[in-house]
Homo-oligomer: A and B are copies of this chain.
Amino acid sequence: MTNEPDSDAKRSQPNAGTKRARHKRAPIGAPPGTMLPDPSAPRPVISAMRMGEGACTEERAVSIERIAALREQGGLLWVAVAGIGDIEAIRRIGELFQLHRLALEDVAHTHQRPKLEDYPEHQFLVLRVLDSMHPGETEQMCMFLGDDFVLTFEEHPGDCFEPVRHRLRDPSSRLRKNGADYLAYALVDAVVDAYFPAMESLGDRLEVVEEAVVAGSAAAEVVRELHRARRELLVARRALWPLREVMSALMRADSARVTSDTRVYLRDVHDHVVQLLDLLENYRELGASLTELHLASASIRLNEVMKVLTLIATIFIPLTFLVGLYGMNFDHMPELHWRYSYPALLALMFGIAIGMLWWFRRRGWL
C-alpha cells in the first residue's frame, strides 16, 4: 500500500471504496474482455512458490518469463499477483495459463460479487477480502484453480496470505503433500477467517452503542455510530452472502480437480461462512432493535421534559395572570382598597396551585 499515499486518505471516507471502483469500468458496449488500465491502481508485484519433489522454492518479485520457466519445471505452482495496475502483465499471465478472457476482464474490474465459474481449463473464483484497517470496505481477490497451479490476484499488496506462505515453508506441512485444491482451500480459509476479528470488533462497537442507548443516552454520536455499524454490516453481508453459494458450489463441484478429501475441508469453510452470516444477521437484528430502542427512549425523554414544562407552565400562568390583574392602574378597583384582599388573594393562589397539583397527580403525570 506504499505506492498510493493518497488512496489511504480517501479510504477513510465511508464511500471511498465505491468511488474508486467506479472509474475502472469499460465504456458501454465495449467488446467483452475489454480491460481498462486504472492509473491509480498499484503496479503488480508477482511472487511464486513451487512445490515438487518434496521441496518448496519461493521467489518474490519475479518476472513473467520466470513464471513461465517455473511452470515448465512441473510440480504445483502458486503464483500470487498483488496489484492489478498493469493490464498488459495480467494479459500475459492469462496467455501463459490459458485463462478465459471473460475471467481476466473480471480480474481487472474490481467490483465483482463473489462467484465461482467453471471453465474447462480451470475453476475461477472471485472472493472479497475484508480490509482489516477499514472494516467498511472489501477488496477483490480472484483465484484460478488449475490442475497444477493456483493463481491469485489481489487488488493491493496485503498480508492476507502470509500465514499460508508460512505454513508452506514448513516441510512437514500437509499443504506440501496435497494438491492444488488443498492449497486453494487453505487460501480461501485464510480469507474467510479474516472476517472473524472484524465481526468481533463490530460486535464490540455495537455493545458500546447498546450500553449507551440502554443508559438512555440521546447523543447524536450514538445514532451515527449505529448507522456506521449498520453500513459496515451491509458491506460484509454483500461479500459473504454470495460466498456461501460459492462454497457449496465448490463442494459439490462436478470436477476431478477437487478431491473428496478436500471437500470435507471445504465444508468446514462453508460452515464458517454460514456462522459469519448468522453473526451478521444477529448484529443486523440487534442494530434494528437498538434503533427502535433509541426512538422509544427519545419519546420517553420528550414526554418527561414536556410534563415538567407543562406542570410549571400550567401552574404559574394563571397565577401570573392574577397578579397582573391587581397590578393594573385603574382608578376604580375596589378590591385594591379592601383590608384583607392581599392575604385572600395569596390564599386563592395557593389553592389554585394545590388544585392543579392534585389534578396532575390524578391523571398520573406526577
The stretch among A51-59, A136-144, A299-307 that forms the contact with chain B is A299-307
Residue of B nearest to A18 (CB): B203
In the complex the two chains form, is B113's CB within 8 Å of A278's CB? Answer: yes
A28 touches B194 (CB 8 A): yes
Decide: A173 near B32, CB < 8 A? Known: A196-B25, A298-B299, A313-B317: no
Check A32 against B268 for contact (C-beta < 8 Å): yes
Q: For residue A188, give the distance in angstroms from its CB to the closest CB of chain B.
A: 11
Cβ of A357 within 8 Å of any chain B Cβ, yes or no, is no
Q: Say whether B332 contacts A329, CB under 8 Å.
A: no
| CA of A70 to CA of B354, assembled, Å | 80
What is the CA–CA distance of A214 and B274 in the complex, to the nearest angstrom?
32
Q: Is the CB of B313 within 8 A of A320?
A: no
A113:B300 contact, CB within 8 angstroms: no
Tell which of B29, B220, B297 touches A163, judged by Cβ atoms closer than 8 Å.
B29
Which of A3-11, A82-90, A336-344 faces chain B? A336-344
Residues of B within 8 A of A328 (CB): 323, 326-327, 329, 342, 345
Q: Does A1 contact B (CB under 8 A)?
A: no
CB distance from A27 to the nearest CB of B (A): 7
Q: Tell me the A residues contacting B by CB distance below 8 Å.
A: 14-15, 18, 22, 25, 27-32, 100, 102, 111-113, 115, 117, 161-164, 166-167, 173-175, 186, 189-190, 193-194, 196-197, 200, 203, 207, 210, 214, 216, 218-220, 223-224, 227, 230-231, 234, 238, 242, 264-265, 267-268, 271, 274-275, 278, 282, 285-286, 289-310, 312-314, 316-321, 323-333, 335-342, 345, 364-365
Which secondary structure characterizes the binding site on chain A? helix
Chain B's closest residue to A174 (CB) is B31
13 extra interchain contacts, Cβ-Cβ under 8 A, other than A309-B309, A320-B321, A332-B341? A29-B163, A214-B224, A223-B300, A227-B290, A230-B289, A238-B282, A306-B306, A312-B313, A316-B320, A323-B325, A327-B327, A328-B345, A333-B342
B residues less than 8 Å from A305 (CB atoms):
303, 306-307, 310, 365
Chain B nearest CB: distance from A296 CB in Å?
Answer: 5
For A303, what are the chain B residues with a Cβ–Cβ distance below 8 Å?
218, 298, 301-302, 305
